[in-house]
Amino acid sequence: LSDCLACDNCMTSEEGARVFQQNQKELFRILNLNKKCDTSKHKVLAVSICPQSLPYFAAKFSLSVNDAAKGLCGFLKSLGVHYVFDTTIAADFSILESQREFVQRYQRRNQEEHALPMFASACPG
């Protein structure tokens, strides 16, 4: 749960707590607090951007996906966000690890009764 990004790809009761903590109202509350206090007391804000959201912004504003990513990152930083992370590499690692595990399970399917089926998730956390 501590790694949950509240991406809304799963539905657990714990995620409800994370979604409550990660919403627009809370973001703007912290941004406003950061504007009012000295920088040593700022709360550090980090935003993660999933690769699936970038084509939407690109199409909406008639930009390339790379330009949309740069623009979104610049916009978030202009609001006061400290760090903006792209989760593409995390998604790539997740796919590679799922593939590796599936191959191992498939090779053991005749020796282990519960080797298959394999359930997987695309959770970036």
How many CB atoms are closer than 10 A to CB 40? 5
Q: Stretch 21-45: mean pLDDT, rounded?
A: 82
**Residues 52-102 pLDDT 10s:** 788 888 999 999 999 999 999 999 999 999 999 888 887 788 889 889 999
The domain spans of the chain are 23-32+43-108
Contact 15, 2 (CB under 8 A): no
Question: At residue 39, does pLDDT exceed 80?
Answer: no
- Global pTM exceeds 0.75: no
Average pLDDT over residues 23-41: 83
CA dihedral 111, 112, 118, 124 (to 10 degrees): -100
Residue 104's pLDDT band, with cuts at 50, 70 and 90, is very high
> How much is the average pLDDT of 30-44?
85
CA within 13 Å, CB half, 19: 10
Distance of CA 58 to the CA centre of its chain: 18
- 86: β partners: 49
